[in-house]
A and B are shown apart, each in its own frame.
Chain A
């Protein structure tokens, strides 16, 4: 086994193939490459660090065992993300995960912040708490698109839903968050339906036709 020295230059796909072919180091390298991003997704989605750690373990074990079923139709990262997100969603659905303690944004693992960033930190805490209020599917979607910065297309692929669904979930999730975070102070004010302009049902109809393209 002398192949490990070159693993740094191997693509994710090469590593997965090497793992399926018996290279005992290949999967470890994949884990090293992606664990931070996967951790971010798991932590932001589940919020509870213990839950996130368990979900991540579960997900990597699933990926480890399922490597032989990876067919290369998608990116390895997309495939891994899907496994991680599914592990998180499963957990959220199985036992209504509630935030038990505030997420230590400044704890180990968080980048050091300057002392004058206390206000930022409070905002981050508030954002984390607000995210936790969203239903699982919405939260996972908002985390992927708005926090992790994945495109709507990528997110749709890894969640296995239509792009229109991703956008709708973002729209609903952001609205709730805007209210929870105090950016939208008087939601009642804007609830009125303008006569003769456009109605909700009208817009829904358009929306679904738009999605079909």
Chain B
């Protein structure tokens, strides 16, 4: 088949005809080509073939999303904002990349962004960019919730910056591994230095705020405040 007799007349290149068909060419060139095509049956065949191809593509039936796929979309989105399994998966993946406990925080905080806005608590924080050094946030014991905006998504752990120190402190306070903080901020609570930890509760837009003192560690909860906020 490779040695078939060539056409008696030269014809336009296939790519050029396809460009003409797809409107790639500028109008002047296209007009000249169209005039040529009119006298070239092979070129007309090519254009007809491209038209037929277009017709085939346009005739493809529009698929309707299968029920099970549609059903999977919403629960997935719901799970994406819940600080349970999916976040833990994401977090453990991040942890392996070497971010350690901070990566865990950042991953969890990314999932909690929705929680922030759900409270109507100001602009979206982009989690993952620890802020520059700031003075400790002054809180009073009666208004620990005031620290939520500032702490969510922040990675300001102060004396608990080492992942092991953070974990030991969380253990001392009975926080399970899947309850990793969604944010942290150095604070003073009624003048006493501490770290505000934002913990998930399993409820969207509801958080547990823990304030622990600098001595929080193995066997020492050093708990200064423990509040639920949101909803």
Contact = CB atoms under 8 A, between A and B. Distances in A.
Interface in B194-218: 204-205
Given A20-B117, A22-B120, A174-B18, A31 B73 contact: yes
Interface in A109-154: 109-111, 113, 120, 123-124, 127-128, 131, 142, 146-147, 149, 152
A188 B65 contact: no
B204 A174 contact: no
Given A109-B65, A167-B23, A178 B12 contact: no
A68 B64 CA distance: 29
B57 to A, nearest CB: 4
A43 B26 contact: no
A80 interface: no
Contacts of B229: none
A8 B63 CA distance: 23
B63 A109 contact: yes
B143 interface: no
Nearest to B6: A192
A152 B24 CA distance: 11
A190 B10 CA distance: 8
Contacts, number: 203
A40 B25 contact: no
Contact of A203 (B29, B49, B56, B67): B29
A206 interface: yes
Interface in B15-31: 15-19, 21-26, 29
Give the interface size bracket for B toward A.
35 or more
A198 B33 contact: yes
Contact of A39 (B46, B64, B81): B64
A3 interface: no
Contact of A127 (B48, B56, B123): B56
B14 A191 contact: yes
B69 interface: yes
A209 B26 contact: yes
A190 to B, nearest CB: 5
A22 B6 contact: no
Contacts of B69: 39, 49, 52-53, 56
A35 B58 contact: no
Nearest to A152: B23
Contacts of B111: 65
Interface string A82-122: 00000000000000000000000101111101000000100
Contacts of A178: 46, 49-50, 52-53
Given A146-B57, A175-B18, A28 B13 contact: no
Given A40-B63, A175-B50, A192-B11, A28 B77 contact: yes
Contact of B4 (A105, A142, A188, A209): A188
Contacts of B11: 189-190, 192, 194
Nearest to B81: A64
Interface of B: 2, 4, 6-7, 10-19, 21-26, 29, 32-33, 36, 42-43, 46, 48-50, 52-54, 56-67, 69-70, 72-74, 76-77, 80-81, 110-111, 113-114, 117-120, 123-124, 204-205
19 contacts: A20-B117, A35-B73, A39-B69, A49-B69, A52-B69, A109-B63, A113-B61, A164-B24, A168-B19, A168-B24, A178-B52, A181-B53, A190-B13, A190-B43, A190-B46, A198-B16, A198-B32, A203-B19, A206-B25
